[in-house]
Structure 1
């Protein structure tokens, strides 16, 4: 009887883990010194200091925004990541959906490696969704498209300037489904990812994600919702 009970528990745990959605987020820290960007304040544009960085520690940065969220709970924080390029790693769990989000803050001078790592995660088959946040690295340097194909069904979000033009084709050719890309110069605050994840977790289509992202961007930038929604590309369902 005890053996049967233990087997039942193990099977139940296995099914629960199988149903859990895994989200990987790669944040290339804003860096005035090494990135072809419009310069920001020295403090928020230091790609070696995540706590003050525009894309991580500032109020709209991933760390601060998700820590303040009522939808996500911080489970783990790592500053000793085993990789000098990755300055911090955070693990969040959604409060109601079966989903875990692991976000990494990459040193600003390692932006190219950060994006390449995000594509490897997209192709690995280990994540249901992978997001990249930061400066559009393809504006600064060429990166060879992935040689292989995605090992499983993976969705992608790329939040940087004009990501639709630069990233859509390479992702689709690799067997990855882009869900949220951009059409113009924009600010990739993590409030966009945060709000777009809710319809994704509910199983809704790209249109719902685009609507949620547009509404979030409109609130942050204090512009009309229609204009904010046009910041994000229209993609296939």
Structure 2
């Protein structure tokens, strides 16, 4: 009888929530191979992540997340098994059940970086996949996915005009965009850091847009309405 009661109590306990998995693909800024407004030589060298605009600089992913109070660096790899990937970092959220794995891709391999991010979106192995960098589709054609997503996956594409270039192709493939952009912009990782907080607790697109807008307004010294206009109004 006691064993039966214990079994019933165990079955009535709430299921342990699964850890959320976030994959981030950062295409390093590269003055030589990308169709961008040129930046300083050091921060625009796509072969040197530590000084790169999108990785090692203050607003780059590595520096931004290492300085964050919400995330803890667990692992750093510079030998990644792929010469296109110059560094891989694993962060764990301090309070939520979430792990974030970020890769710094060589700037000259930006197209490969985006294709890899899209494959991760379709794989069904991640809860959220993020692409950060220059809008590669402004430079190169990329075939639309030929398969549908294997599971429910959210996506953020932080580059210039990502709604115009990526919204339809992702939705058609069964991926749910949760943060996109409407205009030319600076994809600093403070946007991702702040928009992840509402995403982790299941808030809607508007909350993510609000968090991204507030972070962008602070960083770029813009009004709230101007910053909000940078990010897309997505369907609920």
TM-score of the two chains, using structure 1 as the length reference: 0.93
1:22 is paired with a residue of what secondary structure?
strand
Q: Residue 79 of structure 1: CA displacement?
A: 0.3
Q: Residue 229 of structure 1: CA displacement?
A: 0.7
Give distance in 2, aligned partners of 1:52 and 1:171: 31
Q: Which residue of 1 aligns with 2:220?
A: 221
Q: What are the ranges of 5 or more consecutive residues in structure 2 without an aligned counterpart?
A: 1-14
Q: Which residue of 2 aligns with 1:93?
A: 92
Q: Residue 138 of structure 1: CA displacement?
A: 0.2
Give distance in 2, aligned partners of 1:128 and 1:193: 15
Q: What are the ranges of 5 or more consecutive residues in structure 1 without an aligned counterpart?
A: 1-14
Give distance in 1, aligned partners of 2:50 and 2:203: 33
Give distance in 2, aligned partners of 1:193 and 1:145: 25
1:194 is paired with a residue of what secondary structure?
helix
Count of residues paired in the alignment: 222
1:102 is paired with a residue of what secondary structure?
strand
Q: Residue 189 of structure 1: CA displacement?
A: 0.1
Q: Which residue of 1 aligns with 2:30?
A: 31
Q: Which residue of 1 aligns with 2:102?
A: 103
Q: Residue 156 of structure 1: CA displacement?
A: 0.2
Q: Residue 40 of structure 1: CA displacement?
A: 0.1
Give distance in 1, aligned partners of 2:193 and 2:213: 12
Give distance in 2, aligned partners of 1:61 and 1:229: 21
Q: Residue 158 of structure 1: CA displacement?
A: 0.2
Asked which structure has the greater CA Rg, the reply is 2
Q: Residue 133 of structure 1: CA displacement?
A: 0.1
Q: Which residue of 2 aligns with 1:202?
A: 201
Give distance in 2, aligned partners of 1:146 and 1:71: 34
Q: Residue 177 of structure 1: CA displacement?
A: 0.2
Question: CA deviation digits over 1:23-50, x for unaligned, max 9?
Answer: 0000000000000000000000000000
2:38 is paired with a residue of what secondary structure?
coil
Q: Residue 134 of structure 1: CA displacement?
A: 0.1
2:59 is paired with a residue of what secondary structure?
coil
TM-score of the two chains, using structure 2 as the length reference: 0.93
Question: CA deviation digits over 1:51-74, x for unaligned, max 9?
Answer: 000000000000000000000000
Give distance in 1, aligned partners of 2:152 and 2:235: 15
Question: CA deviation digits over 1:160-194, x for unaligned, max 9?
Answer: 00000000000000000000000000000000000
1:192 is paired with a residue of what secondary structure?
helix
2:231 is paired with a residue of what secondary structure?
coil
Question: CA deviation digits over 1:186-226, x for unaligned, max 9?
Answer: 00000000000000001100000000000000000001011
Q: Which residue of 2 aligns with 1:62?
A: 61
